[in-house]
């Protein structure tokens, strides 16, 4: 699967910081990803693990708190679709 295959799908952007972004990937630009209807989550604000938060988002839906976010590619360490999150 190439990066363009993720367009218009709900994706998870794992970053090298405490932030996690879940939303619909709308554009892949030279230096950033543009994501709409985003659940931007600061993992330091909760005792829930990254994996459990993702399972909750997959099971119960997103808590959209941003209409649009541009995430710098240099900060992203992983990208996957929300549907590919394992519940095990």
- Residue 1 clears pLDDT 80, i.e. is over it: no
Question: For residue 72, what pLDDT is reported?
Answer: 97
Supply the pTM of this predicted model.
0.93
* Domains of the chain listed by start with CATH number: 3-83 (2.30.30.100)
Listed range (11-25, 47-61, 62-76) with the worst mean pLDDT: 47-61
8, two tokens = 């218009």
Question: For residue 8, what pLDDT is reported?
Answer: 98
Q: Whose CA is closest to 63, among 87, 40, 88, 29?
A: 40
Average pLDDT over residues 52-66: 93
Average pLDDT over residues 10-37: 97
Question: For residue 87, what pLDDT is reported?
Answer: 79
29, two tokens = 């630009």
């Amino acid at each position: 699967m190439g990066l363009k295959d993720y367009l218009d799908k709900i994706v998870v952007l794992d970053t090298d910081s405490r932030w996690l972004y879940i939303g619909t990937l709308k554009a892949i630009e030279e230096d950033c990803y543009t994501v709409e209807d985003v659940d931007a989550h600061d993992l330091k604000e909760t005792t829930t693990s990254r994996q459990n938060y993702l399972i909750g988002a997959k099971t119960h839906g997103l808590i959209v708190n941003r209409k649009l976010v541009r995430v710098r590619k240099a900060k992203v360490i992983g990208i996957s679709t929300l549907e590919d999150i394992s519940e095990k």
